[in-house]
């Protein structure tokens, strides 16, 4: 065997030797490829820098190797991880950032039947915090609600698919509180009243075709 042939003969063994290594302190270092225990089905692959994940990591569902179920990009200089979750066919389901394994900032979720956004959420330390918006497949807004540390807070609106307001309600500490108005597709008021601590209070008015039909006291 000549030197050139011997070199190419060694390549696969040299490549294998560079995978799944540890440093002198026993930390994972360099490229790692790990299968589910007792199988040839990949579990994850990615690069470590003396025990710390860096760059792109691909994670798989057991028995499914055509596409990763998640891809995470680790920032070497911080605890921020950019995450994308995928269907078995490789379509993005959701994406956003995590810090210390907790969702942080804006997260996007997509409709299964299209690439259009289904929902936008904002997080603080894995709790909803800020505006949450839900969309129909045609791109029109379906709902928008504000959150404070995981609880609904302030005005919340839902919409018909055509764009008209369906209802306008208010929350305080996660409970219905304040005025509430419900509309039909033509923009007429159907129902109107107030909540306090999640319960109806005072006078509620019922309408039909924009005409007052009944008043109920709570």
User: Does residue 161 form part of some domain?
Assistant: no
Question: What is the C-alpha to C-alpha distance for residues 3 and 157, in angstroms, rounded to an integer?
Answer: 74
Domain that holds residue 25: 1-99
For the chain, the 3-state helix, strand and coil shares in percent, each to the nearest 5, are 5, 60, 35
Per-residue pLDDT of the chain (218 residues; tens, 9 = 90+): 544 444 444 444 444 458 999 999 999 999 999 999 999 999 999 999 999 999 999 999 999 999 999 999 999 889 999 999 999 999 999 999 999 999 999 999 999 978 899 999 999 999 999 999 999 999 999 999 999 999 999 999 999 999 999 999 999 999 999 999 999 999 999 999 999 999 999 999 999 988 999 999 99
Residue 217 within any structural domain of the chain: no
Indicate the number of domains in the chain: 1
Look at residue 133 and tell me if it is in a domain.
no
| Neighbouring residues of 15: CB distance < 8 A, sequence distance ≥ 6 | none
Whether 193 is in a domain gets the answer: no
């Amino acid at each position: 065997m000549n030197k050139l042939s011997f070199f190419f003969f060694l390549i696969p063994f040299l490549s294998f030797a560079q995978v799944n290594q540890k440093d002198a302190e026993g930390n994972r270092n360099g490229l790692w490829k790990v299968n589910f225990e007792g199988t040839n089905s990949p579990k994850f692959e990615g690069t470590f820098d003396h025990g710390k994940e860096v760059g792109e990591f691909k994670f798989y569902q057991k028995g499914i190797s055509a596409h990763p179920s998640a891809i995470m990009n680790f920032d070497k200089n911080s605890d921020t991880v950019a995450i994308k979750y995928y269907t078995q066919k490789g379509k993005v389901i959701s994406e956003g950032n995590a810090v210390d394994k907790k969702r942080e900032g804006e997260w996007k979720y997509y409709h299964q039947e299209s690439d259009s956004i289904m929902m936008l959420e904002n997080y603080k330390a894995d709790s909803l915090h800020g505006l949450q918006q839900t969309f129909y497949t045609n791109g029109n807004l379906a709902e928008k609600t504000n959150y404070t540390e995981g609880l609904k807070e302030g005005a919340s609106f839902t919409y018909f698919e055509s764009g008209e307001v369906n209802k306008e309600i208010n929350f305080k500490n996660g409970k219905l509180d304040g005025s509430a108005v419900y509309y039909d597709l033509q923009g007429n008021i159907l129902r109107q009243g107030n909540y306090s601590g999640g319960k109806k209070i005072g006078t509620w008015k019922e309408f039909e075709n924009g005409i007052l039909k009944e008043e109920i006291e709570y």
